[in-house]
Amino acid sequence: MQRPYVIDELITAKAIAARIEELCREIHSEFRGTDKLIVVGLLRGSFIFIADLVRELDLPVEVDFLEASSYGDGMESSKEVRILKDLRGAIEGRDVLVVEDIVDTGFTLSHVIGLLQSRGPARMKSIALLDKPTRREIAIKADWTGFEIPDEFVVGYGIDYAQRNRNLGFIGSVRFTD
């Protein structure tokens, strides 16, 4: 049984939308002239972020997904990254943008970047909606970050707590009430 909690709004839906517009201008500038950008979303937390990104990008895109997990239903990373679903298509010689919901310890992003880099993309960049640099255990940083946040457990905009609250339109901080 889950502990009772409330959610305090941390980042508004309006702020997220404005930041995505800014990020897409930078991504467009980086990948201008590409014949196709393969946008790789890390499931499940990035699915709303990736949908909003690709709608805003003025580039030819292909979307693929990779599911990696280091959390399960808990609030702490196990530090063991498991690939639960791999890409459907090849990325060798292609331009790739890896989309992550949140960079916390860095284990997941580091593992995924290493895995995808071994497949020989032409160019690969990464973007994370959220970054918690105070939690970093591996020296890695996304090429683009939406928002830097404090060390709080967050939900919303695709990010869950035990498979709940992904559907919130904002990013909220979980506060336990017991």
Query: How do beta strands 95-103 and 37-43 pair?
Result: parallel
pLDDT digits 0-9 by tens, 45-96: 999 999 999 999 999 999 999 998 775 545 555 567 888 999 999 999 999 9
Q: What's the full length of the chain, in residues?
A: 178
pTM for the model stands at 0.92
Report pLDDT for 19. 98
The predicted model gives 151-173 an average pLDDT of 95
Q: For 86-122, what is each residue's pLDDT tens digit?
A: 999 999 999 999 999 999 999 999 999 999 999 999 9
Q: In what order do the strands lie in the sheet with 144-148?
A: 82-85, 61-69, 37-43, 95-103, 123-131, 144-148
Average pLDDT, the chain: 93
The structural domains of the chain, ordered by start, are 13-151 (3.40.50.2020)
Closest to 50 in 3D by CA, of 58, 42, 37: 42
Nearest Cα to 136, choosing from 159, 111, 114, 103?
103
The interaxial angle of helices 13-31 and 47-56, nearest 10 deg, is 60
Identify the burial level of 114 via C-beta atoms within 10 angstroms of its C-beta, where 0-12 means exposed, 13-18 middle and 19 or more buried: exposed
Tell me the C-alpha distance between 161 and 144, whole Å: 24
Residues acting as catalytic residues: 104
Picking from 171, 163, 161, the residue whose alpha carbon sits closest to that of residue 75 is 161
